[in-house]
A and B are shown apart, each in its own frame.
Chain A
Amino acid sequence: MSDVKDLYQELIVDHSKRPRNFGTLEQADHEATGHNPLCGDKVTVYVKVEDGVVQDVHFQGVGCAISTASASLMTERIKGKPVAEAEALFKEFHDLVTTGNTQPGAMEHLGKLQAFSGVKEFPLRVKCATLAWHTFRAALHGEEPDLSADD
């Protein structure tokens, strides 16, 4: 059994109240909007990619603390990273919030994102944590965000 404080760690509360990289991004060349019908969360992710690197990434939207903090921490973490690395990170993050079974070394890559480890104890909130990442991926590939795998 886990306490709510495991879910709402200080870092998450802080990013939910003061989201970083919040707002549109004029020079974005990729964008997508994702919805989480359960919470009514809505997030638009703007990405600028150059030479296979995420030069800049912003987000805008409304949502619960988990989805807002997740989007904020995602943008911090992937800015300046090669696209392939960002996508690999999503895989690790996804494992963290769904099963908690991460590959060796994943925790180090995840860094601050480990704050979301409490989410796995709250299965109904997994989609809140993954919404921004699904939306980021959809923006890169020009697709609609697909959260159905996290049902």
Chain B
Amino acid sequence: MATVETSKPARPAATTAPPLDVHKIRADFPVLQQLVYGKPLIYLDNAATAQKPRVVLDAINRFYGEQCANVHRGVHRLSQLATDEYEGSRAKIQRFIGAAASREIVFVRGATEAMNLVASSFAQKFIQEGDEVLITGLEHHSNIVPWQFVRDQRGAKLRVAPINDAGEVLLDEFEKLLTDRTKIVAVSHVSNALGTVVPIREIIRMAHARNVPVLIDGAQALPHCRVNVQELDCDFYAFSGHKLYGPTGVGVLYGKARWLEAMPPYQGGGDMIREVTFEKSSYNTLPYKFEAGTPNIAGGIGLGAAIDYLESVGMERIAAYEHELLEYATERVQGIPGLRIIGTAREKAGVLSFVMEYAHPHDVGSILDRDGIAVRAGHHCAMPVMDRFGIAGTTRASFAFYNTFEEADALAASLRKVQEVFG
């Protein structure tokens, strides 16, 4: 990240759109209106899960309270309403990420299931013994373990492009690891542990030059920036609803239709079939081929409401505000003696990860907690990243557009308390 001048104003710089009114936005999030241990909640664990605006809660309530029915099956009125809303959400998601068609939007449980779906289904069709899968040293366990399954089941090799001390993927090394045996590249768009924004355009270009498809884990990116999958030209893009201000238990796998058409189904059951006899079955069209069983209908509808909300605020405004906020918070904590930021990539989004030389991340987390500040402490489901930096874990403050500059000040003040106790 660029160095921040100490004189930087505590206000977002003017963008083309009017700046975001954070206090008005905070009023939209019921959970933020509470005290924790008698202090106002300062929620800085957004990379774990984001809070939900009232419109999302209302959409879920409306579904269960007024139109609860199964989708794609009923001949009755409620089923029609539920199906319209659920499929309407799919269309919103398609527009939100710039997909070419709604049949390229597969509803799943979350980014983890999306990654498992691709690993399992793509591998069955396209990965043979001796083939290679290429990931990076920044990945979340959900983009490592499914490929280890593939490695062990298919006799494939798992290659890992290294990162530098700033937490950036070494593109030269990445390119060298692309070989004639590479069958798929799977990389995160933004690192959950460090906040590094990965140059996925470059990565996609390099992979496509060798006709290798690319799966992007967008769980930590989509909440922070505008993503257009067609412009990126990625082959798959995975994300979770709950990190995008939507409900838990719902997520999306975007896949180019030609890949999804070629891949075998992931799970078998209702809705994913066209015809079933005891001898054989034929499968439904996209996206239903990958959606066995009754889906998370309320979740899908809630996610659609979250996307409406984000569009009403504007992803560009969100990105600009969060960028200023992260730079400000970084500057505020940098001067604290014994504090070292882990992950100093030139481009970062949402995440401020650090260690304090005299205090374990969990002790830091407990002290912040008593000041009403929620952070995550530990390895962040990215143990290989921690190993790369020779640490067991970090304390991670992760920001959303409802966080304020005053909350960044409070974080810094509470960290100075840690220094008082342990320093």
List chain A positions with a Cβ less than 8 A from chain B.
1-5, 7-8, 13, 16-17, 38-40, 62-66, 122, 124-125, 128
Contacts and interface: CB of A to CB of B under 8 A. Distances in A.
B366 A7 contact: yes
A1 B38 contact: yes
Contacts, number: 49
A4 B371 CA distance: 9
A128 B359 CA distance: 14
Contacts of A7: 366
A7 B365 CA distance: 13
B362 A125 contact: yes
A13 B420 CA distance: 11
Given A1-B38, A4-B367, A65-B360, A40 B378 contact: yes
Contacts of B421: 4-5, 8, 13
17 contacts: A2-B370, A3-B370, A4-B367, A4-B421, A7-B366, A13-B421, A39-B361, A39-B362, A39-B378, A40-B392, A64-B362, A65-B360, A65-B422, A122-B366, A125-B362, A125-B366, A128-B362
B37 interface: yes
B366 A39 contact: no
A64 B360 contact: yes
Contacts of B370: 2-4
Contacts of A38: 362, 378
* From B358, B359, B360, B417, residue with most partner A Cβ within 10 Å: B360
A81 B346 CA distance: 57
Contact of B363 (A40, A62, A66): A66
Contact of A65 (B38, B359, B377, B393): B359
Interface size class of chain B, counting residues whose CB lies under 8 Å from the partner chain:
10 to 19
Contacts of A13: 421-422
Contact of B392 (A16, A62, A122, A128): A62
* From B38, B379, B421, residue with most partner A Cβ within 10 Å: B421
Contacts of B393: 39-40
A66 B367 CA distance: 12
B378 A4 contact: no
A65 B392 contact: no
B338 to A, nearest CB: 13
Contacts of A39: 360-362, 377-378, 393
Contacts of B361: 39, 64
Contacts of A8: 363, 367, 421-422
A42 to B, nearest CB: 8
Nearest to A2: B370
A106 to B, nearest CB: 25
Contacts of A128: 362
A40 B417 CA distance: 23
Contacts of B422: 8, 13, 16-17, 65
- A-B CB proximity, top 9 nearest: A64-B360, A40-B392, A64-B362, A39-B362, A65-B363, A4-B370, A4-B367, A8-B421, A64-B363
A1 B362 contact: no
